[in-house]
Structure 1
């Protein structure tokens, strides 16, 4: 995949620059080489404190620019420190709830770490541990990890956390939702008590608050764009359809130009809908936990590169991926709770761009969707329609195009030899003595055996995530 510069707001004469916020010159130059010159609000708010060594609690919705808000102080601290790279003893740990997210964090860090001659690797479950163990033995400065696999490496003695100078928890509320907090707690207990800690979360639920009170020392709290606040550049529509009209309406919307992300409630539903769209001539791929490791990576790459402009996914994609220029998000199945609606919808209208969110609603779902939008704090335009309604062309403008499935579009990738384990409940994150590997942890480079190494001279083909 060819690397693309992330979307970034136009420079503002009134706002501070990265250099004025205290970012070292080498990192400012590395950011400029990526086409990044103006900080996002979450970065402007948190960087002075995090660069000064303070513990920081950052609250902001997904897509608000949190990745660089923690990546810059991590790299600046390691570059200025006197610590040495040692086998199996990372100097910084960044914990992420999903494998896709871990990989995209690493992609954002890669060019910056290269500029500072720092080495970063990612570790996550669902793949062979051997290459990861070799990477740890070779020494690492920044370890980007999912909690389950890191806990496994620590238990087996291949990783120690006693040399960690700074720890980051990204999307801590999502970790809580997935039942990772017991593992996260055990991991943080093994880091030095005086290590700097940065925690970023869209919400501060009870489980996250326990981590804040237990591990963050006199934290500075910065809130930017809470998860419950609607995005001004995002328009919301509810289409009231009959069950028989659901697929024709989806075909009409997804056949329009541009990237479309379609959410279903179940993994089986995602597979079925993907096959239905392909049969109708819409190039589509699926993303869910029943897919094998290489299939997930391959399908996500097809969506990011544009060979399949429609991705049908479960909530695994609600916060685990970032692909530029998703113009339309469709809730083919309305989610069960409002936080899921906001996180799903947050895949579009990112970094100041505009986007459209469509929810399909049948007669039996009217009450649930009404409650959903009310709790989400959004005002949606409700339209009762049939296939061919002119509103569909307004929501997804452009000429519809279709591909002959048998000639140009391969069938959906099937799951691997072993389906990935379901998420474990919070009270029992381990099963049969091994760390739980959830179906949200995904690798991006199956050939690497689950380890992506970013060091001086390395290159990444993935798009940075802001």
Structure 2
């Protein structure tokens, strides 16, 4: 039976005297928390840690960033302190859906595990399995793993879950969304019964409820910050933009002060948007599942350390990134559903801080975005970009400009700055290439002169001939480069014309639909009762149906009276004969017996040719008599 503790629903200010020491944690952990500047527990921590220390099964529900990692991690460390771990047999396992989240959980708990003498190891894809197996052979107390890689390691015989005392399932709803539940249930079935189970999730769907009923025994439930997006320190905005304004607005918003996470839907989109931001002068890096683990780790480290102010990520990072101080989340592509939107939004406004979530929507995406906001329980401010030149005060604060013209001017200046930097870089490379060419030319002339002397020729003539050949080759290469530049310019001009034509078609389409963003447009872009010049009157849809019925009536009349019951077979009246009839007979004059009699006659003739069913015919398969005497026994 599930129990919800009322203290989990109270704000932290109601219990100002609560500390980690009051929750029953070991003094070594409390001291290390104080050294790290963590003195006051979050509500989910204050509610969960005492029950976890008592060994009860925990069902925790809270939005991302509410402090769930320490809620299950600190009691887990306290329970395992002082015990011994055998090789390949960890005593606790923490399952996470993504590599990034596994590493973040390990990084968060490792300092406190060190003070208690406990060893943690991350087992996830994208990293060396040999190193993971080696660590397990030496002995690992706590295993932080993704389901797929842990199953592979167990399949190789390098790990056993027979000694697991505490099993934790973090972000269970995302595991269900990613299709990991079969692996999760397979692993939990390997954990011996009687231990402690803790399950934490932002939402509790049908699959999660199945896990709770199957593996948790009389769990105590703690819920902090409902799954809805009603966070007072977080503001939501939807900017409806035209396609040609999307890239400049993205650069203007992402180029503001503070850290920003930009979410897109695909890996190619992440690389493309990151490249566009860098061209606009924004320090941006891409993060997605197509990168190697080392590249993903370096990118995330650069973002945390401030070397990159913008991170362009796919939904793989929606729950795997735990970075403090993110000021803004920008959704360039809409989220797949309201749960993904909430997890994206959870990257900002963490631990009571404020944050802003901005979603860009094209005109045809408006209804999808608004329905998604409604499902997420979010009251988002809606702004239409492009209706007027000036922005309102809130949009100007988000974008950092007073008008769309300023945004376009800043984007153009950013492109100019990027082009100038690129030109300077190419100039430096050109100088280095020229210096290198001079060195190589001198070395070549020296070698040509030596070769001429060895042959007995004049070195000056040999050098002149080599120089002439080299000059001709260089001139030909320059002409080819010039031709290629002309072809590239033509391709760029053609692409620009195509892009302009596409924007023009979109504008005309918006005008035909009733003026682009106007809410009062009628279907097909015309007012009620309006008729345009050149209309031929037309007819309503029910006129189509009426004409269809008339055609059906005429067709059925030709067949003999349509659906009338008195029509005769073949469309003629009783006793009627038509010119040219050869007598014939109706279908009911056929007799099945005649058909069967003909079939029997054909069968008899066929069997006569084969020898019939007579018993005295020679068998085509009995060749025993043709065998030699010594083979007849086989």
Q: Is contact 1:89–1:163 with CA below 8 Å preserved after alignment?
A: yes
Map 1:49-448 to 2 at 5 A. 49-80=51-82, 83-386=83-386, 389=391, 391-395=394-398, 404=418, 406=421
Pick 1 or 2: higher relative contact order, CA cutoff 8 A, min separation 6: 1
Residues 376 and 78 of structure 1: CA distance in aligned 2, closer, same or farther (over 3 Å):
same
- Select the structure of larger CA radius of gyration: 2
Structure 2 CA distance for aligned equivalents of residues 120 and 12 of structure 1: 35
- The structure where strand makes up a greater share of residues is 1
Structure 2 CA distance for aligned equivalents of residues 290 and 300 of structure 1: 15
Structure 1 residues 286-316: Cα deviation after superposition (integer angstroms, max 9, x where no partner): 0111122222112111211111111111101
Structure 2 CA distance for aligned equivalents of residues 373 and 97 of structure 1: 25
Q: Per-residue deviation at 1:12?
A: 7.4
Structure 2 CA distance for aligned equivalents of residues 15 and 190 of structure 1: 42
Structure 1 CA distance for aligned equivalents of residues 72 and 357 of structure 2: 29
Structure 2 CA distance for aligned equivalents of residues 397 and 114 of structure 1: 46
Q: Is contact 2:12–2:43 with CA below 8 Å preserved after alignment?
A: no
Q: With the length of structure 2 as denominator, give the TM-score of the two structures.
A: 0.61
What SS is found at the alignment partner of 2:236? strand
Q: Per-residue deviation at 1:33?
A: 1.2
Q: Is contact 1:12–1:38 with CA below 8 Å preserved after alignment?
A: no
What SS is found at the alignment partner of 2:60? strand
Consecutive unaligned residues of structure 2, counting only runs of 5 or more, are: 1-10, 402-406, 426-634
What SS is found at the alignment partner of 1:281? coil
Structure 1 residues 133-186: Cα deviation after superposition (integer angstroms, max 9, x where no partner): 111111011111111111111111100000111111000111111111111111
Structure 2 residue aligned with 1:449: none
Q: With the length of structure 1 as denominator, give the TM-score of the two structures.
A: 0.82
Structure 2 CA distance for aligned equivalents of residues 210 and 87 of structure 1: 33
Kindly report the root-mean-square deviation, in angstroms, between the aligned alpha carbons of the 2 structures. 2.2
Q: Per-residue deviation at 1:336?
A: 2.4
What SS is found at the alignment partner of 1:118? coil
- Higher mean displacement: 139-148 or 377-386: 377-386
Q: Is contact 2:345–2:357 with CA below 8 Å preserved after alignment?
A: yes
Structure 2 CA distance for aligned equivalents of residues 95 and 223 of structure 1: 20
Q: Is contact 1:11–1:37 with CA below 8 Å preserved after alignment?
A: no
Structure 1 residue aligned with 2:448: none
Q: Is contact 1:261–1:330 with CA below 8 Å preserved after alignment?
A: yes
Structure 2 CA distance for aligned equivalents of residues 358 and 162 of structure 1: 48
Q: How many residues align?
A: 399
Structure 2 CA distance for aligned equivalents of residues 364 and 171 of structure 1: 33
What SS is found at the alignment partner of 2:143? strand
Q: Per-residue deviation at 1:55?
A: 0.5
Consecutive unaligned residues of structure 1, counting only runs of 5 or more, are: 1-8, 411-466
Structure 1 CA distance for aligned equivalents of residues 272 and 308 of structure 2: 16
